[in-house]
Each structure stands twice: as C-alpha cells, then as structure tokens.
Homo-oligomer: A and B are copies of this chain.
C-alpha cells in the first residue's frame, strides 16, 4: 500500500507517547494506533513536528516508525523524515519504506529563502531518498519560515512524479488551495492530494476550497473525519455546525508551544495514551490551563457526546 495522489480522508498526525521518565511509551503507541484505526482514520503520520521527532535519536526514530507500521495494519503510515542533512533523511526514509510505510513527509530547511533555493533543495532531497518513494510536501511557513508560492509548489510537483501529496498549512492558505485547484483545471498541474493542517483551524473552508481531507493532530480526530465527510457529501451547514462546536478547543490548541501539552492532556484523558508527558524541552499546562481545557470539554460535550465520556476518566491524566 503506497501513498498516491488520490488519497482522501483524515490522516492523524500522531504524537510520540513518552512516560514520565522521558522513555518512549510503546504500550501507548499500540493503544493510539488502535484508536486511530477504530475511529476510521485513513492513515497516521508519525515523526512530524508534533511528534517531537528531533528529540528522538536516530535509532529511536526508526523504532517508533516500525512499531506504528506493524501495529496499524491497513492504515497508510507516513513517516516524517525532515532532517538537517540528507544522510539522516535517507537512512530514516529507507528504513521506513522497507518496513512498509506508505510514504514519507519532507519539509524545507528553515534557512531556504528564494524559489531557486527551494527547488534545488527538493531536487537534492528526492535524489537522497530515491525517486521511487512517494512523498508529502509540507508547506508550513509559520513554523518553518519558508514561503512557497502556489507556483513554486506547482514547479516542485511537476518536477517530481513521486510528490503525490501536499500537507497544506500555510496561513492564510485558503487562496492557495484555490490557486492550486485552478492550475489543475487549466492543465498546468497534475493530480495532487491536498490534506490540510494548521490544527484544523480553517478546515471548514479548506474543504470547500478543494482540500481532499485533513492531516493534523487535533485531539478529537473523529471531528476531522466527520467534517471531511460532511463537507464531501455537500452537507455544508452540518459540517460547520460540528466544526463550530469544536472551534473553542481547536483554538485553544492553537497556542504555539502549549498546543502539544493540550493535545497530550486530552488524549490521556480520553485514554488514548497513558501519559501526557513530553520529552525535554517540554511545554506544560498549568493547573489553570488544565481547568480551562476541562471547562472547554464540558461545554463541548453538550454538542458532541464523544466529549462526554471523558468525565469518567478525568483522573487518568493527572
């Protein structure tokens, strides 16, 4: 099973579970994979920015990728292989594909500025991992400080047949989706799957602009799945109603740095992972922050019953 340009649906960006001592929590990797499969995710992306990938050493990264691939049979597993150098990128990519990954994800180096530099970088990256590996182009200027216009993305996609998907998280990015879809109608861009990130903050309209689905780490991926499906089914108001109910929490997760702490806290509360721990350097939620999230969950549960079950297991995360 390999990734291709027709992929749709929701691919969850997975955190890397750690225990309180900073060790990779393998048991939680399994329970998390089971959860994503059960609720209907198309796939899982591991070792992304949210996955605390740079905090793992080389062997740990390979081990995490392999475990997820082994456990989440039937799902498309994408492995983030962004690295400061091509040797490390290649090593991880080859291990991942050999183990059965569906593809890899590559972000540009933060130092890239000009279109020429960006195009050269991806040329060298594809040469490093090999032209046979399907890959996802990550466009995330807010964090990476690399700005790729729609026409630069088109140039990359047209040059590399193995680039089959865009993880879209430019901000603002709605017009970029429209521009890419327009290129395709005009015949200047080949088919390309577009899944959107940015913590789902604009998912409602991104779907209407032409996205194929979501790829982000919101702690209630069921909502992503539902909004994607409702939107694809043309049920606009229903999609927005569900989305709006979750928006206060989506928004709360959007706090840079704190976001991961919120997500792990909610996932631990939901029993998806055992601990809300991060490896150092770690962000954390204050007692007030946790109470705010709890309040948001309570409010959410009035609209979405899946947030209700949490009350029973609220103690698990503390």
Contact = CB atoms under 8 A, between A and B. Distances in A.
Interface of A: 52, 54-60, 83-88, 90-91, 110, 113-117, 120-121, 124, 127-128, 147-149, 151-152, 171-172, 174-175, 178, 201-202, 204-205, 208-209, 240, 243-244, 247-248, 251-252, 254-258, 279-281, 286, 288-289, 292, 299
Copies in the complex: 4
Contacts of A60: 87
Q: Helix, strand, loop or mixed for chain A's interface?
A: helix
B87 A279 contact: yes
Given A87-B55, A87-B57, A175 B251 contact: no
Contacts of A209: 288
Contacts of A56: 85, 87-88
A116 B149 contact: yes
B152 A114 contact: yes
B258 A178 contact: no
B54 A172 contact: no
Contact of A121 (B55, B171, B281): B281
A255 B172 contact: yes
Nearest to A146: B113
A124 B257 contact: no
Contacts of A116: 149, 151
B256 A171 contact: yes
A147 B254 CA distance: 18
A227 to B, nearest CB: 13
Contacts of A151: 116
Contact of A57 (B91, B120, B201): B91
Given A87-B60, A247-B248, A147 B114 contact: yes
A288 to B, nearest CB: 6
Contacts of A128: 280
Contacts of A178: 286, 288
